[in-house]
Amino acid sequence: MNASVDLRRDGEIAVVTVDNPPVNALKHEVRAGLVEGLRRTRDDATVEAVIIACAGRTFFAGADITEFGKPPQAPGLGEVIAAIEAMPKPVVAALHGTALGGGFELALACHFRVAVAGARVGLPEVKLGLLPGAGGTQRLPRLIGPEKALKMIVTGDPIEAREAFADGVIEEIVDGDLTDGAIAFVRRIVADRRPLRLVRDRDDKLVAEGFADAAEVLTRRLRGREAPAACVEAVRNAIVLPFEEGLQREGELFRKLVAGDQSKAQRHIFFAEREAARVPGIPDGTKPRPMATAAVIGAGTMGGGIAMCFANAGIPVTIVETSRDLLQRGIDRVAANYRTTVSRGGLAAGEMEHRLALIHGVTELDAVGAADFVIEAVFEEMDLKKRVFADLDRIAKAGAVLATNTSTLDVDAIARATKRPQDVLGTHFFSPANVMRLLEIVRGAATAPDAVATAVALGRRLDKVPVTVGVCYGFVGNRMLARRSVEAERLLLEGALPQEVDAAVTGFGFPMGPFAMADMAGLDVGWRIRKGRGERNEIEDALCEAGHFGQKTGKGYFRYEAGSRTPLPDPEVERTILEVSSRAGIARRPIPPEEIVERMVYPMVNEGARILEEGIATRPGDIDVIWVYGYGWPVWRGGPMYYADRLGLAQIRDRLTLYAERSGDETLRPATRISRLAAEGRGFASPAPS
Ligand code: CAA
Ligand code: NAI
pLDDT band at 223 (very low <50, low <70, confident <90, very high): confident
Is residue 362 pLDDT above 70, yes or no? Answer: yes
Beta bridge partners of 559: 555, 568
Cα-based distances in Å from 192 to 45, 179, 379, 487: 19, 20, 69, 73
Is residue 641 pLDDT above 60, yes or no? Answer: yes
Ligand 1 neighbours, Cβ below 6 Å, are: 22-23, 25, 58, 61-66, 77, 98, 100-102, 105, 124-125, 128, 130, 132-134, 274
- 3-class SS of residue 70: coil
Burial of 631 (0-12, 13-18, 19+ CB in 10 A): buried
Q: What is the pLDDT of residues 60-109, one digit of tens each?
A: 999 999 999 889 899 999 999 999 999 999 999 999 999 999 999 999 99
Report the chain's mean pLDDT, rounded to a whole number.
95
Burial of 87 (0-12, 13-18, 19+ CB in 10 A): buried
CB-CB contact of 470 with 613 (8 Å): no
What is the model's pLDDT at position 209?
87
CA of 564 to the centre of ligand 2 (A): 27
- 3-class SS of residue 621: helix
Say which DSSP state 142 is in.
Answer: H
Mean pLDDT on 675-679: 96
- Closest C-alpha among 186, 400, 176 to residue 295: 400
What is 184-217 written as a DSSP string?
HHHHHHHHTT-----GGG--TT---TTHHHHHHH
CA of 124 to the centre of ligand 1 (A): 10
pLDDT band at 664 (very low <50, low <70, confident <90, very high): very high
Give the integer Cα–Cα distance in Å for 613 and 607.
10
What is the model's pLDDT at position 687?
64
Give the integer Cα–Cα distance in Å for 403 and 247.
52
CB-CB contact of 536 with 632 (8 Å): no
pLDDT band at 271 (very low <50, low <70, confident <90, very high): very high
Tell me the percentage of the chain whose pLDDT exceeds 90. 93
Beta bridge partners of 465: 438
pLDDT band at 414 (very low <50, low <70, confident <90, very high): very high
Higher pLDDT residue, 32 or 223? 32
pLDDT band at 684 (very low <50, low <70, confident <90, very high): very high
Is residue 135 pLDDT above 60, yes or no? Answer: yes
Give, for ligand 1, the residue of 23, 98, 139 to mutate: max count of ligand atoms closer than 8 Å to Cβ. 23
Cα-based distances in Å from 664 to 277, 490, 657, 660, 661: 40, 12, 10, 5, 5
Q: Which helix (H) or strand (E) holds 455?
A: helix 449-461
Q: What is the pLDDT of residues 520-529, one digit of tens each?
A: 989 998 888 8
Is residue 690 pLDDT above 70, yes or no? Answer: no
Give the integer Cα–Cα distance in Å for 539 and 536.
9
Is residue 369 pLDDT above 60, yes or no? Answer: yes
Q: What is the pLDDT of residues 483-530, one digit of tens each?
A: 999 999 999 999 999 999 999 999 999 999 999 999 998 999 888 888
pLDDT band at 688 (very low <50, low <70, confident <90, very high): low
Q: Which helix (H) or strand (E) holds 318?
A: strand 317-320
What is 92-108 written as a DSSP string?
EEEE-SEEETHHHHHHH
Q: Which ligand minimizes its atom distance to the CA of 430?
A: 2
pTM of the model: 0.93
CA of 23 to the centre of ligand 1 (A): 6
pLDDT band at 250 (very low <50, low <70, confident <90, very high): very high
Listed in sequence order, the residues at least 6 apart from 434 whose beta carbon sits closer than 8 Å to its beta carbon are 305, 306, 308, 309, 312, 337
What is the model's pLDDT at position 568?
97
Burial of 379 (0-12, 13-18, 19+ CB in 10 A): exposed
Give the integer Cα–Cα distance in Å for 123 and 45.
35
Mean pLDDT on 671-684: 96
- For the Cβ of 20 lying below 6 angstroms from any atom of ligand 2, the answer is no
Closest residue CA from atom 16 of ligand 1: 274
- For the Cβ of 376 lying below 6 angstroms from any atom of ligand 2, the answer is no
Give me Rg for the CA atoms of the chain: 28
CB-CB contact of 273 with 635 (8 Å): no
Pairing relationship of beta strands 98-100 and 49-54 according to DSSP bridges? unpaired
- For the Cβ of 307 lying below 6 angstroms from any atom of ligand 2, the answer is no
Helices (H) and strands (E) in the chain, counts: 28, 17
Residues involved in catalysis: 105, 125
